[in-house]
Each structure stands twice: as C-alpha cells, then as structure tokens.
Amino acid sequence: MKTTPDKQAFILHLGEMGSRWGINRTVGQIYALLYVSQAPLNAEQITEALGLSRSNVSMGLKELQSWRLTRVQHLPGDRREYFTAPDDIWDILQILVEERRKREIDPTMSMLRTALMDGGTDDQSAYAQQRMQDMLDLMELVTGWLNELAELDRKTVIKLMKLGRGVKKLVTPTRSRPRHPT
Amino acid sequence: MKTTPDKQAFILHLGEMGSRWGINRTVGQIYALLYVSQAPLNAEQITEALGLSRSNVSMGLKELQSWRLTRVQHLPGDRREYFTAPDDIWDILQILVEERRKREIDPTMSMLRTALMDGGTDDQSAYAQQRMQDMLDLMELVTGWLNELAELDRKTVIKLMKLGRGVKKLVTPTRSRPRHPT
DNA sequence: TTATAATTTCAGAAATTACTGAAATTACTG
DNA sequence: CAGTAATTTCAGTAATTTCTGAAATTATAA
C-alpha cells in the first residue's frame, strides 16, 4: 500500500468502520481511497494502492456503483474506467441514507404492515401488535421527515442543525409573546 | 420456535436486519422476541422460543446488556434473571444512536483529528486533508445536533418532524414579513 | 457447610462471508 | 474482421464470525 500515513490511517479505519456497519472491509477501503483522492482512479491503481486482487476490486467497485456512491468517467485516449466519489460529502450522506432506506427500512415497514394485517386480534396477540404498530409509526415518522429534509437546500439544513435545542422555541406555539424573552 | 406467525415473521426479519447492520442474527432475534413480549423472559424461555443453545442466548443477552438495550429484573420467589426491552420505542432508538456514536462515530472523529494534526502540509496532501476536514465537520455537526435533539422532550421532537419542510419558514429569517405569505 | 440451580466461559466445530486466480466475456483498436 | 486490453464471473479456498456442548464459575437454598 503506497500512500501517505494519514491517508493510510484513514483508509484502514474506514475499512473497519465498514465491517461494523455491514459493509465489507475492502469495499470500505476502496471508498475511503476514492474519497481522499482528487484524481479519478482506475481499478489497477486501486489494486496497487490497497494490495487487493484485481477481481476483488472489480467486485467492490460494482458494489459501490450499486449503492450509487461512485461516478465512472473516461479519460481521453484511455479506455480504462476511472472512478471518483462525489465532491460534496452531504451528497454522499444523502445517498447512503436513501439507499439504506430503500434496502432495509422499506422492506421492514412492509413486513410490519403485513404482520399487522394478518396478526390475530385476541388478547394473546394484542401486545405484540401494539409494539409492531409503534415501530411502524416511528419508522414512518422518521423516514418521512428525512425525506423532507433531503428536499430542503443544504444551507437551511445546516442552519436548523446549528439551532440545536433552540428549535423548540420555534416549533412550540406560545399563547402570548413573553414580554422579556430569555 | 413456538410463537404466533406474526411474531415469528417479525423475529426472523429483525434477525436478518441485524446482520445487515453489523449485529449478529441471533442477537437481533433475541431482541425482537423481548420487544414483542409483554412479560419478562428468562434465558431458558428465550432458548426454547428461538431454538438456540443456552450458551448462545447467554452471550446474546450479555451483548444486549452492553448496549444498554435490555433491563434485568427478578420475579419474587424465582432466582432466575428476567429480561425486558424498554416500553418506549423512542428510548430504544435513542440508546441505539448513543451507543453507535460512542462505539463508532467518536473513535472515527478522533482518528480524523489525529490524521489532520499529523498530516503533511504539502500540495500532495492538501486535498486529502480537506476531505477529512469535511468529514469531521459533518460528523461534528450531525452528532452535536442529535445530542441536542435528545435533550428535547419527545413531543417537541415529534412536532418538529411533523413540520417537515415547513421548518424552512421558521429557520429562514425574512427581512420584512411578506404581505401575502404563500 | 454441602447441594443444586443458574449462568458464564471457552475451545473447537459449523456456518457464513470474503477473497483469489483462472477462465470467460466484453469493449476497444487498427 | 482479428487481436488485444479491460473487466467480470465464478468455483474453490481462506478468513472470519457464529454457535455449541462441556466444564467452570457464581449464586442461592437447605
């Protein structure tokens, strides 16, 4: 592996990070490398940089493309494919959230709806049914909200986040405006 | 496994879900079972219900306790330990977020800070350094915000989420109040 | 204390997941 | 078109993770 020690540490860490989140280590490493590389990289360069087999890199890149996390481009006079990560890390975050929702949260909500339709109505089932309903409600609320946030412009989202707890004053209707606001 | 078909489906699904998020299948199943069970369960009951070995259940319960996701109690006249999941699913969500932050996000932020301190200042490193800084900034903003949200009362959070995009009007300062608001 | 019930530990087995090299396929060039 | 470069596929192997049963430990009861 031939990179500067700081990139190195970053790549290895994101590999570990990946495995803890159900993404395989080498896919994490490949993405970390693309993320910190200004120039697009081809598969051969990734293979060299990370010391993986060519075929493993090929599979990793496929995986990353299926997640929409990389862009492919061609350099003039070079028939190989070159890969990059999006420039804007907010785009990356948004894609990650969307794909995880599509792949994992949506199917879970379907399962819950089915279980709630088919489940018994007797006392024996009542508690479990209520719990599943609670989970479904929570998922609907949170994913719906993330959807809406994604449609806002970035500046607004940042402003909202920087507000922190301060948002309470905005969303809580007051009967009459206090004379001496804190 | 002896449960109603709806619980069954739920348990198996959450097991799969677990593995996709880096939590092992049986730990996911154990938690799903506790989540839909009104009465506290002891290890033996979990073993029977899920068809796992007693030792596997023991390890799974340990894991769940290290995540603070289960509560242990004792029934009068019974020396076995009985396990439950919190009643409020918002509590569960909050604990999950906190633990993941502590275990994975915080160490990543430390690594980034170190890499940013130690990294070279030459042109060669500049891009990677900027990218790591972007990632650190994003993580600090998002985790800081989640921290603040966690301190708000639940009602306020729900109100905020239900606002959706509507929050933009609240956080965006207008020079002068429009005469005909849209 | 001894007996026994409950739980945990842990080495090895089983299952799953990741990785490789060779072969096949696809894409490009002249 | 033939020749070659680039990429993908996939069967077999390696590595990792999960799971089990037996033994050890801990807790409670008599």
Do B156 and A142 count as a contact with CB atoms less than 8 A apart?
A: no
pLDDT digits (tens, 9 = 90+) for B47-105: 999 999 999 999 999 999 999 999 999 999 899 999 999 999 999 999 999 999 999 99
| Nucleotides of chain D touched by protein CB (<7 A) | 5-10, 17-22, 27-29
Section A6-32 average pLDDT: 96
CB contacts < 8 A (A, B): 164
pLDDT at A180: 62
List the single protein residue with the shortest CA to C1' distance from D27.
B79
CA-based nearest residue in chain A for residue B35: A131
What does chain B look like in DSSP terms, one character per residue? --S-HHHHHHHHHHHHHHHHTTS-HHHHHHHHHHHH-SS-EEHHHHHHHHT--HHHHHHHHHHHHHTT--EEEE-TT--SEEEE--S-HHHHHHHHHHHHIIIIIHHHHHHHHHHHHHS--SHHHHHHHHHHHHHHHHHHHHHHHHHHHHHS-HHHHHHHHHHGGGHHHHHS--SS--SS--
pLDDT at B103: 95
The residue of B35, B152, B171, B174 whose CB has the most chain A CBs within 10 angstroms, and thus the best one to mutate to test that interface, is B171
**Residue A155: which region, alpha, beta or left (left: phi > 0; alpha: psi -120 to 50)?**
alpha
CB B116 within 7 Å, strand D:
no
| Nucleotides of chain C touched by protein CB (<7 A) | 5-10, 16-23, 27-29
Instruction: Report the C-alpha gap between B161 and A81 in whole angstroms.
Output: 42
Say if residue B182's pLDDT is above 60.
no
Question: Do residues B149 and A168 touch, judged by C-beta distance below 8 A?
Answer: no
pLDDT digits (tens, 9 = 90+) for B117-168: 987 788 878 999 999 999 999 999 999 999 999 999 999 999 999 998 988 8
pLDDT at B180: 61
pLDDT at B169: 82
Q: Which residues of chain A have a CB within 8 Å of the CB of B139?
A: none
